[in-house]
Amino acid sequence: MEAAIVTNGLTRTFDGLRAVDRLDLEVPQGIIFGFLGPNGAGKTTTIRLLLGLLEPTAGSAKVLGFDLSQADRIREHVGVVLEQPGLYTRLSAYDNLDFFAAAYRVPATQRKARIRDLLTHLGLWERRNDFVDTYSKGMKQKLAFARALLHRPSLIFMDEPTAGLDVPSAAALREDIVNLVRGSGTTVFLTTHNLAEAESMCDLIAVINKGKLVTVDTPDRLRTGARKPQVRIVGRGFSPQAVDALRRLPQVISVTQSKGSLHVTIRRGDKVSPVVKALTEQGAEIEEVVHTTASLEEAFLALLDETDGQDGGESRGRN
Ligand SMILES: Nc1ncnc2c1ncn2[C@@H]1O[C@H](COP(=O)(O)OP(=O)(O)OP(=O)(O)O)[C@@H](O)[C@H]1O
Ligand SMILES: [Mg+2]
């Protein structure tokens, strides 16, 4: 099956700043693809390039098999939820969807049922005749999502869809996204700063930093593979001398102590046995050694740290 999105060396510069820097991506069809990176990493710029809203400086991409020069065709087949919902605030929710359904050329005979289905599904049917400017932020986001789905797109771009929503609204929207997308073969390209959200929703996660792709992997493998190994050592007699001895070991990156246990970060590829040996030599008694799994947040920060160190100086720093 052809990928939903393929980019080859996709690049966009703004006054010499490489906002997107030789990006090679392949997004398989039918999955929820997370596109993560710090502020200014190039996520929104990438989406704008893929929608044909911005010209690449170099490189190329195909979206649903269409070249970026065929932006009209791309936009016919994709749905978008961008940072600004872009709704008509002086129209009702229903009229907004009716307007966009016509613009997307949803056949007139199907429009009404489609709008009713979507609004009912998202819990907005009762409020369909209210002006959008009386909607809360979360309701507007849901409506923007409904608009993105009107023409049954096979690919949806969502740029921080849950940003600024309260916990229940964000959870409800996430559930809606997953429910409406799963099993339908639709591909979702999603950016978020919420790592728990990315972890729970995404099949694959790409991390981008300073315009460059850092990695693409499943949330699980990102957590376990991208981090430096950590162990928690439970026991007694962890004297300051014992802790110092650990810190002097070449394998050990850091040691912290809490409630009778030590948290030791080890260099990748190194074993835990020298740590245990050093502790026992210092008279500590070890009851348990537990390998702890990093959170996606830790893995993400570690990846950014590593890539910040490799910067060739051609891009500006993050933030
Ligand atoms: N129209 C523009 N003109 C000049 N610079 C731009 C323009 N659009 C984006 N940039 C720059 O490109 C870089 C990437 O911006 P982009 O909006 O793609 O980041 P982002 O990953 O979406 O960040 P955020 O998480 O804050 O939304 C930033 O340094 C930004 O200042
Ligand atoms: Mg952005």
In which band, very low, low, confident or very high, does the pLDDT at 233 lie, cut at 50, 70 and 90?
A: very high
DSSP-derived 3-state class of residue 153: coil
Q: What is the pTM of this model?
A: 0.81
Determine the Cα–Cα distance for residues 152 and 180; give it in Å rounded to an integer: 10
Residue 160 CA: which ligand 1 atom is closest?
27
Q: How do residues 200-215 score in pLDDT, each as one tens digit? A: 999 999 999 999 999 9
For the chain, report the end-to-end CA distance as a whole number of angstroms.
Answer: 38
Please, what CATH class does the domain formed by 228-293 belong to? alpha beta
Ligand with an atom nearest the CA of residue 15: 1
Whose structure tokens read 């300051």?
240
Average of per-residue pLDDT values in the chain: 90
Largest CA-CA distance found in the chain, in angstroms, rounded: 81
Query: Using CA atoms, how far apart are residues 94 and 66, in angstroms rounded to an integer?
Result: 31
Ligand nearest to the CA of 39: 1
C-alpha–C-alpha distance, residues 35 and 48, integer Å: 13
Nearest to 281, CA basis, from 234, 230, 244: 244
pLDDT-wise least confident of 32-36, 53-57, 290-294: 290-294
What Cα–Cα distance (Å) separates residue 108 from each residue in 75, 98, 205, 223, 229?
Answer: 20, 9, 38, 48, 58
> What residues does ligand 1 touch, defined as CB less than 6 Å away?
14, 17, 19, 37, 39-45
Is there a contact between 119 and 97 (Cβ–Cβ < 8 Å)?
yes
Question: Ligand 2 centroid to 186 CA: how many Å?
Answer: 22
Could you tell me the distance, in angstroms and rounded to a whole number, from the CA of residue 42 to the centre of ligand 1?
A: 6
Q: CA angle, corner 8, sides to 5 and 12, nearest 5?
A: 100
Residue in the block written with tokens 């950016």: 191
Q: What is the pLDDT of residues 97-156, one digit of tens each?
A: 999 999 999 999 999 999 999 999 888 999 999 999 999 988 999 999 999 999 999 999
Give the number of the atom of ligand 1 that is nearest the alpha carbon of residue 38. 25
The domain locations on the chain are: 5-224, 228-293
Residue 14's beta-bridge partner residues?
17
CA distance 146 to 141: 9
Q: Please, what is the angle between helix 108-121 and helix 93-103, to 10°?
A: 140
Domain 5-224: give its CATH superfamily: P-loop containing nucleotide triphosphate hydrolases (3.40.50.300)
Query: What is the rounded distance in angstroms from the CA atom of residue 81 to the CA atom of residue 147?
Result: 8
